[in-house]
Structure 1
Amino acid sequence: MVDCELVRAIGVSNFLVDDLESLMETASIIPHVNQFEYHPYLNDCDVRAIQVLTLFPKFQGSCPLAKGEILQRPELVQVAQRIGKTPAQVSIRYSIQNDVIAIPKSLRPWRLRENASV
């Protein structure tokens, strides 16, 4: 599709480092992005030159069963309280500071403002 100019970039989802290495052995085009769950408790993020994308940096990511439990981890709550932010804001900021594309979403205007105020 890239060769036919139907798309400019390709990506993968939920690929681990081993998956990426295996893909790179045979792929003619390296993915531009890898979307997966991303948070401070998940540190195995050596994905070479591939950009990381997280749609739910509130620690739900590709694991909908998490339902935000990580947001209530004592360490995260303490950091949030210390800096006057919510745990969700801390998680968004963590993603940004680690060069991860964070795409938080909400339908509530107050939460959209909160997500932008990191």
Structure 2
Amino acid sequence: MTAPLTDLNDGCRMPLLGFGTYSIHDPEIFVQAIDAGYRLLDTATRYENEQEVGQGIAASPVSREELFVTTKLPGDAHGSAGPRRELTASLGRLGLDHVDLYLIHWPLPRIDRYVETWQAMIALRDEGLATSVGVSNFLPDHLDRLVAATGVAPAVNQVELHPYFQQAEQRAADQRHGITTQSWTPLGRKTDLLDQPALAEIGARHGVTAAQVVLRWHTQIGAAPIPKSATPERFRSNLDIFSFELDPEDLARVADLETGERIGGDPRTHEEF
């Protein structure tokens, strides 16, 4: 089983569900994920595992053309020259001649170079080093500024999104610009989310797990989740979410789980260098 594709605003297509690689460093896990049906692998320079992801891709019998590889620009490379330097280094570690999606990892508003950085990202896309370019953790005002300055909206905005933090305003802002919202920590890591009785009850009615309920919720609200797991049985289960559909009552019960609390950093202040 592979995930269906979703259309991006630049004419490209992306798997609706991907494999998050944060903190995973064993190439065999990536081989197994591809073998299970994952076609999107999401990494980043700051994950320090691009080389291992590349080794997994090289060892897999699935062709490069069938895969969608994402990596991300680190904060210390903001500016006009940094994106080219860092993407070149990332491609070397991955063993690839291009990535399918290159993201600005964080906006770093105190540094205030994300517009200049975005202009450099567009140039990399136009040269074919990245098929699509986008951002991660960008707030509505950051997106408005990018589009006003360049006329080019990111293809993807990857943000923290899960039933405890549903990001309705952010999703609406993304949609306004035709940007696909991609969900990191979609299962609410290090919380009790998957122990919620409502999710167990919904899952029991559909014959699926609480995690599968949550991931299906993401896709039905228009988001593209990238769950992370190093356990083959679990990551196979995470992918198997397209054989059932949540009804309006199910969606309303998941919506009721909102707390408005983030797990990760606030894009207004978070800095990664």
Give the TM bin, normalised by the shorter chain: 0.7 to 0.9
Residue 142 of structure 2 is aligned to residue 19 of structure 1: yes
1:76 aligns with 2:205: no
Query: Which residue identity lines up with residue 137 of structure 2 in the other structure?
Result: N
Following TM superposition, by how much is the alpha carbon of 1:34 offset from its aligned partner in structure 2, in angstroms? 0.4
C-alpha distance in 2 between matches for 1:14 and 1:88: 23
Rounded to whole Å, the distance in 2 between the matches of 1:106 and 1:81 is 22
Tell me how far apart the structure 2 counterparts of residues 3 and 29 of structure 1 sit (CA, whole Å). Answer: 12
CA root-mean-square deviation: 2.1
Amino acid at match of 2:139: L
Task: Name structure 2 gaps, 5 residues minimum.
Answer: 1-123, 242-273
Question: Would you say 1:101 and 2:258 are equivalent positions?
Answer: no
Name the aligned partner's letter for residue 51 of structure 1. Answer: T
Residues in 1 aligned to 2:152 and 2:212: alpha-carbon distance in whole angstroms: 35
Contact 2:215 2:225 (C-alpha < 8 Å) held by counterparts: yes
Pick the structure with greater CA Rg.
2
Deviations 1:28-48 (A, max 9, x none): 421100001122341221112
Alpha-carbon contact 1:59-1:91 (below 8 Å) kept: no
Quick check: 1:39–1:94 contact (8 Å CA) kept in 2? no
CA distance in 1, matches of 2:192, 2:150: 37
Q: % of aligned pairs identical?
A: 38
Matched with 2:187 is 58
2:162–2:185 contact (8 Å) kept in structure 1: no
Amino acid at match of 1:39: H
* CA shift for structure 1 position 74: 4.1
Aligned to 1:114: 237
Q: Which structure: greater strand fraction?
A: 2
Corresponding residue pairs, total: 112
Asked whether the equivalents of residues 57 and 103 of structure 1 are also in contact (C-alpha less than 8 Å), the reply is yes
TM-score (norm 2): 0.37
TM-score by length of 1: 0.76
Q: Secondary structure at the match of 2:126?
A: coil
Give the 3 Å change call, closer, same or farther, for CA 7–55 of structure 1 in structure 2: same
Question: Secondary structure of 1:40's partner?
Answer: coil
Tell me whether 72-81 or 50-59 shows the greater mean CA deviation.
Answer: 72-81
Q: Per-residue deviation at 1:52?
A: 1.2
Q: Which runs of 4+ in 1 moved over 6 A?
A: none
Q: Distance in 2 between matches of 1:16 and 1:109?
A: 34
Task: Return 5+ residue gaps in structure 1 as ranges.
Answer: 61-66
Partner AA of 2:147 in structure 1: M
